[in-house]
Amino acid sequence: MALTQSGSGRDGWSSRTAFILAAIGSAVGLGNLVRFPAEAGANGGGAFVLFYILCIVLIGLPVLLSETLIGRHGQAAAPESFRKVAEQSGKSTAWEHVASLGVLSAFLVLAFYCVLGGWVLYYVGVFAGDLFTTGISGGAFSDMTVAEVEGLFPAMISNGTMTVMLNLVFLAVTVFFVSRGVSGGIEKVAVYLMPAFFVLLLGITIYGLFGGQMGRTLAYLFTFEPERLTGPVMLAAVGQAFFSLSLGVAGMVTYGAYVGRNVNLAGTSAIIAAADTAVALLAGLCIFPIVFAAGLAADGGLGLMFTTLPHAFQEIPGGSLLGLGFFVMVGFAALTSSVALMEVPTAWVSERFRFARPVAAGIVTFSAAVLGALSALSMGVLSGFHPLGFLPMFEGMGVLDTLDTLTGKITMPIGALLTSVFIGWVANKRLVDSENGLDGGLHLFWRFLVCWLCPIALTLILIVGIFPGVLGD
């Protein structure tokens, strides 16, 4: 039977550790492993990394605390939690629509995130097949040319039947856990997979340490050149910090709703943010030594993970096993994030329409599968379909890129901005203070951040995201 910590008769985390692991599982994902290293490399290494850490502490952490606080106070699906806080503060219940937007964002991100999850599964299969046929010695894919290995990715994404099937498999695994509830499913996946994830990450990073390219990696990631800290670099860092901490999609509101009253939210949020940042940094320290050891250049974007790395594993000893371990690790991280993404609309559908959880999860999965299929096919047969192409910021984008841009540059920053305004300016101060677990100078500092710094920074991200020319290059 599910243990209930929240005291409201609902399903909930069975311990504080379970919540921490699940929230870290939500935060740690493709954003840390794929996006962070690529962005750090593309945006000036040390300058980006240092500013990213500042953003996590000064902007991400205050919003993370705000989201979990709203959820814990409301003890319900995200819109209902916002409504309760607004009502008890004597303010308009229309604030619940901030969370409705979050539910929509989470659904849209889920749809394309599981397509990427499917790609990861493909590489797990490819490396497992290689290990099985050619064994552990030497590099991976010994019977293939470099061009063939680098050709795997374009061939896969343009094969619609395969990517749609892989997407369905990834969604099926996700819904398997979400439909079992918080303590019986979501928590289980985090409690088992996150420790396994950390073991794999540390193992591969240690391999890199002995591979001899750590010095070059450290220089690449941490050389601080202040002149590279330009406006666009700073904005890339803020946006990455938000995506990485899973903010702006009401995800942490939803997870916060299953937290017991006895948990100190400020301390817990700090642990979550610290772990997420540590994983992003370790991801850089794990990926680049492998790439450099193979004598390759570190490119940005999806190419780093899906083209450069498989080629790198071809060049280094034990490449098949290392590649398999690497993609299994990425798959674990992606799964704990997709579970969080699916939980947000599932909790809402289940509470709003009073559906049993498996039914609600089934409806969300079916809808995400349809939108996911369109996203998967946008890399192949549907590449000429640009749903929002009539707007300049979405010009030439297929479904997958449109969803990524729409959520990352518009709906998630709006969600996070309104959340900070809600907690900083709208919600009753006493209510907020009774939940946040802060006092003294730290409390005043947090108030300053939520009331001023977060809204200003998030407004800037929005403006620059929509009108990229504003800051120049």
Q: Give residues in contact with ligand PFF (CB under 6 A).
A: 26-27, 29-32, 106, 109, 243-244, 246, 249, 251, 337, 340-341
Q: Note whether 21 and 279 are within 8 A (CB).
A: no
Q: How far apart are CB 60 and ligand PFF at their closest, in Å?
A: 11
Nearest in space to 35 (alpha carbons), one of 211, 246, 289: 246
Q: Please identify, using beta-carbon distances, which residue of 103 and 457 lies nearer to ligand PFF.
A: 103
Q: Please identify, using beta-carbon distances, which residue of 173 and 451 lies nearer to ligand PFF.
A: 173
Nearest in space to 34 (alpha carbons), one of 379, 223, 219, 309: 309
Q: How far apart are CB 279 and ligand PFF at their closest, in Å?
A: 9
**Helix 231-244 to helix 46-55 angle, to the nearest 10 degrees?**
50
Q: Please identify, using beta-carbon distances, which residue of 106 and 149 lies nearer to ligand PFF.
A: 106
Q: How far apart are CB 250 and ligand PFF at their closest, in Å?
A: 8
Single-letter residue type at 165 = M
Q: How far apart are CB 212 and ligand PFF at their closest, in Å?
A: 29
Give the DSSP H or E segment for 382: none
Q: Note whether 317 and 44 are within 8 A (CB).
A: no
Q: How far apart are CB 256 and ligand PFF at their closest, in Å?
A: 12
Q: Please identify, using beta-carbon distances, which residue of 238 and 341 lies nearer to ligand PFF.
A: 341
Sign of CA dihedral 175, 179, 183, 184: negative
Q: Please identify, using beta-carbon distances, which residue of 117 and 181 lies nearer to ligand PFF.
A: 117
Q: Which residue's CB comes closest to ligand PFF?
A: 31
Write the DSSP assignment of 312-333 as a string of letters: HHHHSTTHHHHHHHHHHHHHHH
308: burial class by Cβ within 10 Å (0-12, 13-18, 19+)? buried
In whole angstroms, what is the distance from residue 199 CA to residue 206 CA? 11
Q: How far apart are CB 200 and ligand PFF at their closest, in Å?
A: 16
Q: Please identify, using beta-carbon distances, which residue of 337 and 378 lies nearer to ligand PFF.
A: 337
Task: Give the number of other CB atoms < 10 A from CB of residue 410.
Answer: 16
Q: Please identify, using beta-carbon distances, which residue of 55 and 149 lies nearer to ligand PFF.
A: 55
Q: How far apart are CB 360 and ligand PFF at their closest, in Å?
A: 17
Q: Please identify, using beta-carbon distances, which residue of 183 and 338 lies nearer to ligand PFF.
A: 338
Q: How far apart are CB 397 and ligand PFF at their closest, in Å?
A: 20
Q: Please identify, using beta-carbon distances, which residue of 242 and 422 lies nearer to ligand PFF.
A: 242
In whole angstroms, what is the distance from residue 181 CA to residue 360 CA? 11
Q: Please identify, using beta-carbon distances, which residue of 26 and 213 lies nearer to ligand PFF.
A: 26
In whole angstroms, what is the distance from residue 100 CA to residue 52 CA? 28
In whole angstroms, what is the distance from residue 84 CA to residue 135 CA? 58
**Rounded to a whole number, what is the largest CA-CA distance in the chain?**
69
Nearest in space to 327 (alpha carbons), one of 315, 339, 319, 338: 319
Q: How far apart are CB 447 and ligand PFF at their closest, in Å?
A: 25
Q: How far apart are CB 189 and ligand PFF at their closest, in Å?
A: 13
| Exposure string over 58-67, b if 16+ CB within 10 A, otherwise e | bbbbbbbbbb
| Cα atoms in the Cβ-side hemisphere of radius 13 Å centred on 17 | 5
